[in-house]
Amino acid sequence: MLDKIKQIGEEFSEAIQKVTDSKELEEIRLKYLSRKGIFPQLFEDFKALPKEEKPAVGQLLNQVKNQTQNLFDEIKTKVELAGSHSDSYIDLTLPGRSKQLGSKHLLIQSMNEIKKIFIGLGFSVYEGPELESDYNNFEALNFPPDHPARDMQDTFFINDDFLLRTHTSPVQIRLMKNTKPPIRAIMPGKVYRNEAISAKSYCLFHQVEGLYIDTDVTFAELKGTLVSFVKRYFGDDVKYRFRASFFPFTEPSAELDIWWQPKDKPGQWMEILGCGMVDPNVLENVGIDPEKYVGYAFGMGVERSTLRKYKINDIRNFFDNDKRFLEQF
């Protein structure tokens, strides 16, 4: 039996050296090392040997079995590293492959720039839910149920009491309800209006609104704040003007225009934001004494400002996910 053990060990060593893939390796394992393989059978035969033969045979059998198992493990490791095909082989000496990262969307870049400017002017940043109550979105802002100004904003209603916010002004209401003056903050975020999609309008857009409430706030301070913003955002040479306007939640109210000069087209004044002094009724609605406190508010569309700044002609470019457009910024 000693010769048989030696012969099987040599056969195994010769066979395992020829293995090139995991399939051949498994065939070797089944033949020699599995429960019904050759080596388990040798151990069964060993039990039937006379006592005087067992010491020598057992020592050799264990020695060859251990050598066989070690050789199998070594070849298995090499096969697993190399893989069964060249395309699965990993060469650890090669340099790593860098991942191509995306960039921030142009609208997010603009939002961040606007926020940075106002933070530099002493404003905090607050956000609120996009699903709002009719009270916060309209009534608390001096829009009673039959107010004609509601027709200015085509609204996505969820039910009679809730809607997708049409502006970020509800965040002002939430802030004034839960914070004692002085309040100095901006409210960036998405808003929704049921408008026809065209080169100049979209059903989803972004706004940044601002609010300042204190005991001594003037329209002159509002004007100075907004002039400082447009010069930082559009450049010191920007041409601007204020026009009287109307908003239910501010009185007096105004709009801020900048001079827009498209390529190969006549220039024109373009409105970029609305503003005004907070209406006393709004302060009363949120529990702030209008006899003691006064404030101003403003709101701008981020898409409109971005269109003007980067001389883009179609608002739909922001939402089409065309890489040729997005990668320019």
Task: Quote the CA–CA distance of 286 and 298 in Å, as a whole number.
Answer: 18
Identify whether the C-beta of residue 111 lies closer than 8 Å to the C-beta of residue 233. Answer: no
Is 98 part of any domain? no
Burial class (CB in 10 A: 0-12, 13-18, 19+), 118: buried
- The pLDDT, as a whole number, for residue 150 is 63
- The pLDDT, as a whole number, for residue 273 is 93
Three-point CA angle 135, 136, 139, nearest 5°: 45
Distance from the Cα of residue 316 to its chain's centroid: 20
What's the structural domain count of the chain? 2
Q: Token digits for 280? A: 């006393």
Is 236 part of any domain? yes
The verdict on 62 and 158 lying in the same domain is: no
- The pLDDT, as a whole number, for residue 7 is 84
- The pLDDT, as a whole number, for residue 260 is 80
The verdict on 134 and 70 lying in the same domain is: no
Is 99 part of any domain? no
Q: What Rg, from alpha-carbon coordinates, does the chain have?
A: 39
The verdict on 246 and 317 lying in the same domain is: yes
| pLDDT for residue 152 is more than 60 | no
- The pLDDT, as a whole number, for residue 153 is 60
Task: Quote the CA–CA distance of 264 and 253 in Å, as a whole number.
Answer: 34
The verdict on 81 and 110 lying in the same domain is: no
Provide the domain limits for residue 179: 106-326
Helices (H) and strands (E) in the chain, counts: 11, 9
- Rounded to the nearest 10°, the torsion over CA 187, 306, 165, 212 is 30
Say what the pTM is: 0.66
Burial class (CB in 10 A: 0-12, 13-18, 19+), 258: buried
- The pLDDT, as a whole number, for residue 323 is 86
| pLDDT for residue 86 is more than 70 | no
The verdict on 147 and 249 lying in the same domain is: yes
The verdict on 237 and 185 lying in the same domain is: yes
CATH number for the domain that contains residue 215: 3.30.930.10
| pLDDT for residue 84 is more than 80 | no
At residue 227 the predicted structure's pLDDT band, cuts being 50, 70 and 90, is very high
The verdict on 78 and 111 lying in the same domain is: no
The percent of residues in the chain predicted with pLDDT above 70, rounded, is 95
pLDDT in tens, 2-33: 888 888 888 888 888 888 788 888 888 888 88
The verdict on 52 and 161 lying in the same domain is: no
Is 258 part of any domain? yes
Is 314 part of any domain? yes
